[in-house]
């Protein structure tokens, strides 16, 4: 338990209806009694009851009208005594209330300090604490859904299951090492080997869940690709709803790959406008085309843009061929002009006019289908944290090392030490074995007041 009491404004700065100030720590109720004036005294009031009254200055002058709720530990969000004060929003009231509380001996909270206390007091594990930050930062419905599930502990449970099984084996192995002559359960090497393979498989599956997590957290990468002048940049601007990149009738307008985020039905897409694919003797143009190829290669989805108003060329077909292996959509642009291209042989194409804004709804709907086809595979537990991935990889490495040692007939001590290493890695995720430095690093990325 901490011995100081922390305070922070938990609502965002700026003009708003309400301001929320949180207090947590041993002096919470004392301080509340000193600064609050209402029909009831906080220390005498029932737990978790919102009290209407005022925060008053040391001389008894009213600072703001508030609702104050005391939540006594350990049954509170941080496990300590907590008070939440809802005052009026805006630039002044929350700040003056905060200043008053600081004047009574509370300390300004560091970023993430409330959540850190919740973690240290056993209210949640580390993966759950990290989910709190992900919830606040979520930019799409899907990302929020994943974070909320993680907060509920669904991801943690996977790690606890693995932890338990490794611990069970470790106990048996260590008994064998320590009491060789005595009557202890002998390690069944085949059983252990099979179990290690199974655990390795589970870790592997979690790693696959990271791909899903990446889509959800960072957005799927969608590269817009095509010949010069087919209208890629026009389409890009339309889809992001902003006049972001230069459009002109000169072929080769776009040189750099430019990206922007768009939300499509609860999913984030990162659209990349690219340079038109062409043979370019100019070194800058050649570099632009090289970058286009790279962007397309790295993209999760390609939007191949064709110009309906002029006959298809071999270049169009080359591009379609180059990209066909990855999830893609063919977009036939410039439907506002007389049609001169035969796009049917290329398969289904979405017809749009980037200039007029026609057909965009249909394009987004098709894009949504392609994107969701990649993300909706819920056989994976979604992993969004780079930190988790590193630990899972290390754990998997250690587990497979343990399996290899077992097969090679290496003494059990070594198998035990690999299992212990795997346990450390899994424990780093749930927080059982996370170092103080790791904790500081994680919580410093939170907002103040969280």
Site string for Mg ion, 244-283 (x = CB under 5 A): ---------xx-----------------------------
Select from 218, 1, 280 the least CA-distant residue to 121. 1
Q: How far is the CB of 210 from ligand GTP (least distance, A)?
A: 33
Helix (H, G, I), strand (E, B) or coil at 276: coil
Q: How far is the CB of 274 from ligand GTP (least distance, A)?
A: 8
Nearer to ligand GTP, 250 or 436 (CB): 250
Task: Kindly tell me the sign of the dihedral angle through the C-alpha atoms of 282, 283, 289, 292.
Answer: negative
Q: How far is the CB of 271 from Mg ion (least distance, A)?
A: 13
228 binds, among ligand GTP, Mg ion, none (CB under 5 to 8 A by kind): ligand GTP
Nearer to ligand GTP, 194 or 317 (CB): 317
Q: Is the separation of the CB atoms in 339 and 345 below 8 Å?
A: no
- Residue 435 is given by DSSP the state -
Site string for Mg ion, 182-221 (x = CB under 5 A): ----------------------------------------
Q: Is the separation of the CB atoms in 274 and 232 below 8 Å?
A: yes
Nearer to ligand GTP, 85 or 303 (CB): 303
62 binds, among Mg ion, ligand GTP, none (CB under 5 to 8 A by kind): none
Helix (H, G, I), strand (E, B) or coil at 244: coil
Q: Is the separation of the CB atoms in 11 and 30 below 8 Å?
A: no
Distance CA 419, CA 317 (A): 54
78 is a contact residue toward ligand GTP (CB under 6 A)? no
Q: How far is the CB of 340 from ligand GTP (least distance, A)?
A: 12
112 is a contact residue toward ligand GTP (CB under 6 A)? no
67 is a contact residue toward ligand GTP (CB under 6 A)? no
Q: Is the separation of the CB atoms in 418 and 401 below 8 Å?
A: yes
Q: How far is the CB of 239 from ligand GTP (least distance, A)?
A: 12
Select from 44, 30, 94, 42 the least CA-distant residue to 70. 42
234 is a contact residue toward ligand GTP (CB under 6 A)? yes
Of the candidate residues 122, 201, 251, 347, the single one contacting ligand GTP (CB under 6 A): 251
310 is a contact residue toward Mg ion (CB under 5 A)? no
Task: Count residues binding ligand GTP (CB under 6 A).
Answer: 24
Distance CA 308, CA 259 (A): 25
Footprint of ligand GTP on 262-291 (CB under 6 A): 275-276
Q: How far is the CB of 326 from ligand GTP (least distance, A)?
A: 20
231 is a contact residue toward ligand GTP (CB under 6 A)? yes
Site string for ligand GTP, 332-371 (x = CB under 6 A): -xx-xx---------------xxx----------------
- Residue 11 is given by DSSP the state S
Q: Is the separation of the CB atoms in 135 and 449 below 8 Å?
A: no
First to last CA, the chain: 18
69 is a contact residue toward ligand GTP (CB under 6 A)? no
233 is a contact residue toward Mg ion (CB under 5 A)? yes
Spatial neighbors of 436 by CB under 8 A, at least 6 apart, are none
User: How many angstroms from the chain centroid is the CA of residue 31?
Assistant: 37
Distance CA 439, CA 409 (A): 39
Distance CA 338, CA 4 (A): 75
- Region of 153 please: left (phi>0), alpha (psi -120 to 50) or beta: left
Residues forming contacts to Mg ion in the complex (CB under 5 A) are: 232-233, 253-254
Could you list the residues that contact ligand GTP (CB under 6 A)? 226, 228-234, 247-249, 251-254, 275-276, 333-334, 336-337, 353-355
């Amino acid at each position: 338990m901490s011995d100081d009491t922390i305070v922070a404004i938990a609502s965002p700065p700026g003009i708003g209806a309400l301001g929320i100030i949180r207090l947590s720590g041993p002096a919470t109720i004392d301080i509340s009694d000193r600064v609050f004036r209402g029909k009831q005294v906080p220390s005498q009031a029932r737990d978790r009851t919102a009290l209407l009254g005022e925060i008053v200055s040391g001389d008894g002058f009213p600072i703001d009208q508030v609702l104050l709720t005391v939540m006594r530990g350990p049954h509170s969000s941080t496990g300590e005594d907590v008070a939440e004060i809802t005052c009026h929003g805006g630039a002044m009231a929350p700040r003056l209330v905060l200043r008053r509380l600081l004047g009574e001996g509370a300390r300004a909270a560091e970023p993430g300090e409330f959540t850190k206390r919740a973690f240290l007091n056993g209210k949640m594990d580390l993966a759950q604490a990290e989910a709190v930050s992900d919830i606040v930062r979520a930019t799409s419905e899907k990302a929020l859904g994943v974070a909320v599930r993680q907060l509920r502990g669904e991801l943690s449970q996977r790690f606890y299951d693995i932890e338990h099984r490794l611990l069970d084996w470790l106990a048996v192995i260590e008994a064998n090492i320590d009491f060789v002559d005595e009557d202890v359960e002998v390690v069944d090497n085949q059983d252990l080997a099979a179990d290690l393979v199974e655990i390795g498989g589970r870790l592997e599956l979690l790693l696959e869940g990271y791909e899903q997590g990446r889509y959800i957290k960072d957005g799927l990468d969608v590269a817009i690709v095509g010949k010069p002048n087919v209208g890629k940049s026009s389409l890009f601007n339309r889809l992001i709803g902003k006049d972001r990149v230069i459009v002109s009738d000169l072929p080769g307008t776009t040189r750099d790959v430019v990206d922007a985020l768009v939300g499509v039905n609860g999913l984030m897409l990162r659209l990349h406008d690219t340079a038109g694919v062409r043979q370019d003797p100019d070194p800058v143009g050649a570099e632009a085309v090289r970058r286009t190829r790279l962007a397309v290669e790295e993209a999760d989805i390609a939007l191949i843009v064709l110009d309906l108003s002029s006959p298809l060329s071999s270049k169009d077909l080359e591009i379609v061929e180059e990209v066909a292996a990855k999830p893609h959509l063919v977009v036939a642009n410039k439907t506002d002009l007389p049609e001169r291209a035969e796009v049917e042989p290329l398969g289904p194409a979405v017809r749009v006019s980037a200039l007029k804004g026609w057909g965009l709804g249909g394009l987004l709907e098709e894009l949504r289908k392609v994107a969701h086809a990649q993300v909706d595979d819920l056989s994976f537990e979604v992993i969004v944290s780079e930190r988790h991935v590193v630990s899972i990889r290390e754990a998997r490495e250690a587990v497979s090392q343990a399996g290899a040692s077992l097969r090679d007939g290496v003494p059990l001590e070594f198998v035990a030490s690999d299992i212990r290493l795997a346990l450390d890695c899994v424990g780093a995720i749930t927080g059982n074995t996370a170092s103080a430095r790791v904790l500081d690093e994680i919580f410093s990325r939170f907002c103040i007041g969280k």
